Amino acid sequence: MLTTTGRAAQDAGEHAFIDEVIARRAGRPGALLGILEDVQEHTPHKYLCSDDLRYIAARTGTPLSQIFSVVAFYALFNREPQGEHTIAICRGTACHTRGSRNLLEKLRLDFGLTADADGAQADKLTLTTRDRKFTLRTVACFGQCALAPVVELDHRICGHMNEQALAREVKALVEEKRS
């Protein structure tokens, strides 16, 4: 558990990092996107917390509503802590017709993940295992329709995926971490 002093030191360290990122990216095209990406990558569990977003807004003079809009619009930004590994399943038309929903349901069962009543049928889903090993999410489309169904494993696109191949890939992620 962090003490008040420990939290203040952690905040000061995080703020120093954010200040450095802002200084490095200031005045460049797409500066806000780059700042958000760098801060997310630096943060344990790869997400953007509200306190960091408020700090970025104050330091850059960008309205907080604009920062939240950018974070909400781009799928690469996370508002909740992520697992060590991410698995994204395409829910676009080509992938759907070639079985991506079955891949999604298989992984949800394998990982013991359940969505709330509203999210159970949603095509936009982000779920993280309790042990924070995996985050499973859906995306609207990867733009790789000729490879359908498409799954992204730790930012690596895998096409023509089936349940057996996906199980092998997930097992490889687990074993890779052990070695």
Question: Domains in the chain, ordered, with CATH?
Answer: 4-73 (no CATH), 85-178 (3.40.30.10)
Residue 30 falls in which region: left (phi positive, over 0), alpha (psi -120 to 50) or beta: left
**pLDDT for the residue 111:** 95
**pLDDT for the residue 118:** 47
Give the span between the Cα atoms of 52 and 11, in whole angstroms: 9
Is pLDDT above 90 for 12?
no
Element holding 156 (H helix, E strand): strand 156-158
| Tens-place pLDDT, residues 83-118 | 999 999 999 999 999 999 999 999 999 999 986 544
Q: Between 12 and 20, where is the model more confident? A: 20
Is pLDDT above 80 for 75?
no
Report the sign of the C-alpha dihedral through residues 167, 170, 172, 175, in that order.
negative
**pLDDT for the residue 123:** 61
**pLDDT for the residue 124:** 75
Mean pLDDT on 152-174: 94
Least confident of 12-21, 70-79, 121-130: 121-130
User: Which pLDDT band, with edges at 50, 70 and 90, does 11 fall under?
Assistant: confident
Query: CB count, 10 Å around CB of 24?
Result: 12
Element holding 10 (H helix, E strand): helix 4-25
Is pLDDT above 70 for 45?
yes
Is pLDDT above 60 for 51?
yes
- Amino acid identity at 171: K
Is pLDDT above 50 for 7?
no
Say which residues have a Cβ less than 8 Å from residue 150's Cβ, sequence separation at least 6.
90, 95, 100, 142, 144, 157, 158, 159, 161
Give the span between the Cα atoms of 130 and 70, in whole angstroms: 28
Beta-bridge mates of residue 87: 136, 153
**pLDDT for the residue 58:** 96
Local structure of 145: helix, strand or coil: helix
pTM for this predicted structure: 0.73
Is pLDDT above 60 for 9?
no
Local structure of 90: helix, strand or coil: strand
What separation, in Å, do the N-terminal and C-terminal C-alpha atoms of the chain show? 30
Is pLDDT above 80 for 132?
yes
- Amino acid identity at 107: L
Is pLDDT above 80 for 19?
yes
